[in-house]
């Protein structure tokens, strides 16, 4: 009887933000690590570009992510892993984040853009999802807290569960509230970098001109997204001058 009640309680809580209190930042890291390993072992679903095979591209990516991660305002900067990987699939215009600061970017998204600030905008947005623990929240909504804890604790069937979760990770949909939060976080972070603070607005405008990007189905747009981002940058007194940096060109030109 007690066990049933407890199960009901956990399932009941898992749909709301309160469930996050039962899942620690350390759990985010554990879960993210397992999902990272599952993704690395599934080159058919996720043809990851290895660092050794594209050192120049990764050096350029590291330069960009490093500038964003050096910014003030990232709550869990010192706690999360902050590992970025490129998935070699030009047909997918998407990026996604696992709990714990693990982020993947498709070559299809990189090839869609031509401006470093626009790319820094989407990187800051994905960092915002991890920093705001939105990935944990979204996974809890889909799978329930009990299953996520089973994976973290290595309970029966944890390996298969981790595989299932990894398979769906690129298609995991955030709530509009989380999208708004990731947009706002991106402005706060970028305000303290050489990049234009409202870069994510430019990213969404650039995406709008490409054909049916997956990104917009997994990152549903809050109302007035572009206008709100631009206004927030003004309200926070941030620079919206383009950086003029060229690491992104190096990244895109050195893709295989
Ligand atoms: Zn998003």
CA 136–ligand 1 middle distance (angstroms): 13
Instruction: Please give the distance, rounded to the nearest whole angstrom, from the Cα atom of residue 1 to the centre of ligand 1.
Output: 41
Query: Ligand 1 center to residue 244 CA distance, Å?
Result: 25
Question: Tokens 């650039």 correspond to what residue?
Answer: 206
pLDDT tens per residue, range 10-48: 444 444 445 566 899 999 999 999 999 999 999 999 999
d(CA 40, CA 19): 28
Give the number of other Cβ atoms within 10 Å of residue 17's Cβ: 11
Q: How far is the CA of 174 from the centre of ligand 1 (A)?
A: 7
Rounded to the nearest whole angstrom, what is the distance from the C-alpha of residue 223 to the centroid of ligand 1? 14
Ligand 1 midpoint to CA 80 (Å): 18
Element holding 49 (H helix, E strand): strand 48-49
What is the rounded (10 degree) CA torsion for 199, 209, 212, 54?
A: -60
pLDDT for the residue 222: 85
Distance 2 CA to ligand 1 centre (A): 39
Sign of the four-CA dihedral 113, 116, 121, 122:
positive
Which H/E stretch holds residue 62?
Answer: helix 55-69
Strand ranges across the sheet with 95-98: 48-49, 83-87, 102-106, 95-98
Round to whole Å and give the CA distance between 145 and 137.
9
Ligand 1 center from residue 241 Cα (angstroms): 23
The whole-model pTM stands at 0.90
Distance 195 CA to ligand 1 centre (A): 19
CA distances to 55, 56, 87 from 51, in Å: 5, 9, 11
Residue 20 pLDDT:
63
Q: Which residues, in sequence order, are CB contacts of 215 under 8 Å at separation 6+?
A: 93, 94, 95, 109, 122, 207
pLDDT given at position 216: 85
pLDDT of residue 22: 80
Ligand 1 center from residue 176 Cα (angstroms): 8
Q: How many whole angstroms from 135 Cα to the centroid of ligand 1?
A: 10
Point out the residues of the chain with pLDDT beneath 50: 1-17
Residues contacting residue 217 through CB under 8 Å, at least 6 positions apart: 173
Write down the pLDDT at residue 19.
58
Cα–Cα distance for residue pair 148/98, rounded to 1 Å: 12
Q: What is the whole-number distance in angstroms between the Cα of residue 155 and the centre of ligand 1? A: 31
The Cα-based distances of 176 to 6, 37, 92, 218 in angstroms read 30, 29, 22, 10
Query: Which residues have CB atoms below 5 A from the ion given as ligand 1?
Result: 179, 182, 219
Q: How far apart are CA 25 and CA 12, in angstroms?
A: 21
CA 215 – ligand 1 centroid, Å: 8
Residue listed under structure tokens 């898992």: 14
67-80 tens-digit pLDDT: 999 999 999 999 99
Q: Cα of 101 to ligand 1 centre, how many Å?
A: 14
């Amino acid at each position: 009887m007690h066990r049933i009640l407890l199960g009901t309680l956990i399932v009941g809580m898992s749909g709301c933000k309160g469930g996050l209190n039962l899942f620690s930042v350390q759990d985010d890291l554990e879960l993210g690590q397992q999902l990272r390993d599952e993704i690395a072992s599934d080159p058919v679903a996720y043809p990851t570009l290895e660092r050794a095979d594209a050192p120049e591209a990764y050096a350029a990516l590291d330069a960009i992510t490093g500038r964003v991660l050096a910014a003030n305002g990232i709550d869990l900067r010192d706690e999360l892993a902050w590992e970025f990987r490129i998935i070699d699939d030009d047909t997918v215009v998407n990026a996604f984040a696992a709990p714990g600061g693990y982020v993947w970017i498709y070559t299809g998204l990189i090839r869609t853009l031509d401006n470093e600030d626009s790319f820094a905008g989407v990187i800051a947005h994905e960092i915002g999802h991890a920093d705001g623990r939105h990935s944990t929240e979204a996974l809890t909504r889909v799978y329930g807290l009990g299953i996520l804890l089973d994976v973290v604790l290595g309970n029966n069937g944890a390996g298969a569960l981790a595989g299932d979760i990894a398979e769906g990770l690129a298609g995991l949909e955030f709530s509009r509230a989380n999208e708004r939060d990731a947009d706002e976080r991106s402005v706060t972070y970028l305000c303290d970098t050489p990049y234009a603070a409202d870069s994510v607005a430019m990213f969404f405008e650039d995406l709008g001109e490409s054909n049916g990007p997956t990104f917009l189905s997994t990152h549903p747009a809050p109302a007035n997204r572009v206008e709100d981002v631009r206004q927030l940058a003004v309200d926070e007194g941030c620079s919206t001058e383009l950086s003029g940096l060229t690491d992104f060109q190096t990244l895109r030109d050195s893709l295989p």
